[in-house]
Chain A
Amino acid sequence: MRFVRRYLAPRLIQYVLVVILGVTVIFFIPRFLPSDPVEAQINTIQAMGTLVDPAAVEETIAILREMYGLDKGLLNQYVSFWGRLFTGDFGPSLYLFPTPVSQLIRQSLPWTIGLLLTTTVLGWILGNILGGLAGYFTRSKILKIVDGIAMFVRPMPYYILALILIIFFAYLLPIFPLGGGFPIGVRLSLSWSVFKDILRHAFLPAMSLVLLSAAVNHQTMRLIVQSVKDEDYIRYAKIGNVKERTIFSRYVMRNALLPQITGLTLTLGVMFGGALITEIVFAYPGIGTLLYQAILTSDYNLIMGISTISIIAIATGLLLIDLLYPLFDPRIKFK
Chain B
Amino acid sequence: MKTLRELFKDRRFSFGAVVMCVLAVLAFITLFSPYDPTEWHVVPRDMAPSWEHLLGTNSMGQDVFWRMTFAVRNSLLVAFLASTISRVIAVAVGLVAGYCGGIVDRVLMLIGDTSLVIPVFLILVLIAMLVKRLDLVTMVLLFGLIGWPWDTRLIRSQILSLREREFTYTAILSRTPTRKLIFNEYFPFIIPLVLATFINHMAFVVGMEITLALIGLTDLTIPTLGAMLQWAISYQAILLGLWWWLFAPIGVAVSLFVALYLVSVSISVYLDPRARIQRVGAR
Contact = CB atoms under 8 A, between A and B. Distances in A.
A and B physically associate: yes
A295 B125 contact: yes
B76 interface: no
B121 A311 contact: no
Contacts, number: 125
B25 interface: no
B238 A167 contact: yes
A307 B215 CA distance: 17
Given A151-B262, A155-B260, A160-B253, A306 B122 contact: yes
B217 A157 contact: no
Given A18-B114, A167-B238, A295-B215, A269 B260 contact: no
Interface in B34-81: none
Interface in A126-160: 151-152, 154-160
A53 B61 CA distance: 42
Interface string A307-323: 10011001100100000
A156 B130 contact: no
B119 interface: yes
A71 to B, nearest CB: 20
Contact of A154 (B215, B229, B261): B261
A330 B75 CA distance: 47
Nearest to A164: B250
A215 to B, nearest CB: 10
Interface stretch (A25-33, A199-207, A234-242): A25-33
B110 A17 contact: yes
Given A164-B250, A295-B216, A152 B126 contact: no
A307 B12 CA distance: 39
Interface residues of B, number: 44
Contact of B211 (A40, A157, A164, A306): A157
Contacts of B130: 29-30, 33, 35, 37, 40
A108 interface: no
A136 to B, nearest CB: 16
B260 A272 contact: no
A34 B130 CA distance: 8
A307 B261 CA distance: 30
Interface residues of A, number: 53
Interface string A163-174: 110010001000
A156 B257 contact: yes
A302 to B, nearest CB: 11
Interface stretch (A60-68, A179-187, A273-281): A273-281
Contacts of B110: 17
B203 interface: yes
B7 interface: no
Given A33-B131, A156-B254, A159-B211, A314 B117 contact: yes
A270 B127 contact: no
Contacts of B242: none
B171 interface: no
Interface string B248-268: 001001100110111001000
A171 B240 CA distance: 12
A227 interface: yes
Contact of A269 (B119, B126, B254): B119
Contacts of B254: 156, 160, 164
B104 interface: no
A200 B131 CA distance: 38
B29 interface: no
Interface string A230-260: 1000000000000000000000000000000
Contact of B116 (A266, A272, A274): A266
B118 A311 contact: yes
A159 B126 contact: no
Contacts of A163: 229, 250
21 contacts: A155-B260, A157-B208, A158-B211, A159-B211, A159-B214, A160-B250, A160-B254, A272-B121, A273-B120, A273-B122, A276-B121, A277-B211, A291-B125, A295-B125, A295-B215, A295-B216, A296-B216, A303-B125, A314-B119, A315-B117, A318-B117
Interface of A: 14, 17-18, 21-22, 25-26, 29-30, 33-35, 37, 40, 151-152, 154-160, 163-164, 167, 171, 219, 227, 230, 266, 268-270, 272-274, 276-277, 280, 291-292, 295-296, 298, 303, 306-307, 310-311, 314-315, 318
4 tightest CB-CB pairs across the interface, nearest first? A157-B207, A273-B121, A155-B261, A155-B257
Interface of B: 12, 110-111, 113-114, 116-123, 125-127, 129-132, 203, 206-208, 210-211, 214-217, 229, 238-239, 246, 250, 253-254, 257-258, 260-262, 265, 274
